[in-house]
Every structure is written in C-alpha cells, then in structure tokens.
A and B are shown apart, each in its own frame.
Chain A
Amino acid sequence: GAVVSQHPSWVICKSGTSVKIECRSLDFQATTMFWYRQFPKQSLMLMATSNEGSKATYEQGVEKDKFLINHASLTLSTLTVTSAHPEDSSFYICSARDVQRAYEQYFGPGTRLTVT
C-alpha cells in the first residue's frame, strides 16, 4: 500500500513552453501533497505544500506564478512549470500524506525535466 505515482517520469521541452507533472496517490487519500525539487548531487528542497481544495503554500523564493500547483482531488496534485527555462531543468518529486496516518509521507518516483 501507500503508493504514489508521478507522470511523466521524464520530459524534455523547449524553452518557453509549459510542462505539467502529475502526482497521484494510488491507494490512499491525501489531503496534503508536497512538491520538491532536486538538482544533481543535492538534497531535496521543498517548493510548496499542496492542500486539497485550497491554494498551495509556497516556500520562500519559489515563484508561485511560475510553478502552478493544483490539488483538485484527494488523490491528484499537479505542478505546472510555466515558461520553462534551462535553469528549471531538475528532478521534481512529490510526496503525499495519508489522511489516516499522521506524519508519514510517501514519495513518488520523481520526474526528470530537461529544458532545452
């Protein structure tokens, strides 16, 4: 149980285009999902907290107009990178918190974004 999926697993896009990444909790409901970004050989940096039915909470320094987050249901959150640039190339990882289990977060497999 407690499986989180992400789609796509990797994507290449041209500079200036937008890319949507999906995060799904497959066998549990998640009122809260989290989006992280990880550059090569670095740690995970929290970008934003996504709450079902409400606006996301962004970490300091993360542009909310560039990284659009939508959490429309208890099993799906999406991250859209708008007007992507090469510096947005990174590994994006989501996690989801099971409403039945306090504290525990389950991580998705990540999405590799390359902007050319």
Chain B
Amino acid sequence: GESVGLHLPTLSVQEGDNSIINCAYSNSASDYFIWYKQESGKGPQFIIDIRSNMDKRQGQRVTVLLNKTVKHLSLQIAATQPGDSAVYFCAENPRVNTDKLIFGTGTRLQVFP
C-alpha cells in the first residue's frame, strides 16, 4: 500500500553541525513532497517543498533532495541550531488531482551544545 517511512527515528547532532533527515516513499506516482517541522504541542510548520520534476531545492539553511530512482527524499539542515530541535515529517501527495498528503513516521532531531 501507500506509505512514507523514515530510516531514523531519532537524530542527535551537535550545534553547528549539518543534519540530514531521510525519508523513503513507496508511490512512484507521487508528484509533490513537503517537509514539515513539528514542535511539541503544536501543528506542523512548513519548511520546504519539492515537485517531482526537480531533484534539488534550496531554502534558507535547508535543502531538500529528491531521488526518484530509489524513491528517497532527504532534508539537509545546515549549521543546526538548538531551535531546530523538533520532529520532522516528510509528506507526499500520492496521486495527481488530489490534495491528500500522506505523512511519514517522523524523525526527532535533538541538537545539543
């Protein structure tokens, strides 16, 4: 069935280092992917998105990479800061002409000094 999963449930990094959060998706027809950040007790916050016709997109301190061959998505955070500590979810839009998003299982990012 359709699923979006993550390789690492928890990622601990030192402040200032770069973070890489990975996500695998199963539906090759998915055409839109988003990364969200969720802090405790809050709703998801949009970070960055990418369409299937791209393989890389950069934002402020964040980069999303899409490898359609192996159905893999990653989020790179440069110079990780304590404020980046949260749970990160990838989400995919699994079919054309639908607004539905399927969320991955999430990765907790812990930043220590």
Q: How far is the CA of A45 from the CA of B43 in the complex (A)?
A: 13
Contacts of B105 in A (CB 8 A): 42-43
Contacts of B101 in A (CB 8 A): 34, 46, 95, 105
A110-B103 in contact (CB<8A): no
Residue of A nearest to B89 (CB): A43
**Whole-angstrom distance between the Cβ of A47 and the nearest chain B Cβ:** 11
A49-B45 in contact (CB<8A): no
Q: In the complex, which range does the number of interface residues on chain A fall in?
A: 20 to 34
Residue of A nearest to B31 (CB): A103
A105-B99 in contact (CB<8A): yes
Q: How far is the CA of A43 from the CA of B108 in the complex (A)?
A: 11
Is A97's CB within 8 Å of the partner chain B?
Answer: yes
Near A by CB (< 8 A), chain B positions 40-72 give 41-46, 49
**In terms of DSSP, what is the predominant structure of the interface of chain A?**
strand
Counting residue pairs across A and B whose Cβ atoms lie within 8 Å, the total is 50
B99-A49 in contact (CB<8A): yes
B32-A46 in contact (CB<8A): no
Question: Which one of B49, B102, B104 lies within 8 Å of A46 (CB-CB)?
Answer: B102
**Whole-angstrom distance between the Cβ of A54 and the nearest chain B Cβ:** 14
B43-A108 in contact (CB<8A): yes
Contacts of A34 in B (CB 8 A): 99-101
Is A107's CB within 8 Å of the partner chain B?
Answer: yes
Near B by CB (< 8 A), chain A positions 96-116 give 97, 103-110, 112
B residues at A contact (CB < 8 Å): 32, 36, 41-46, 49, 89, 93, 99-106
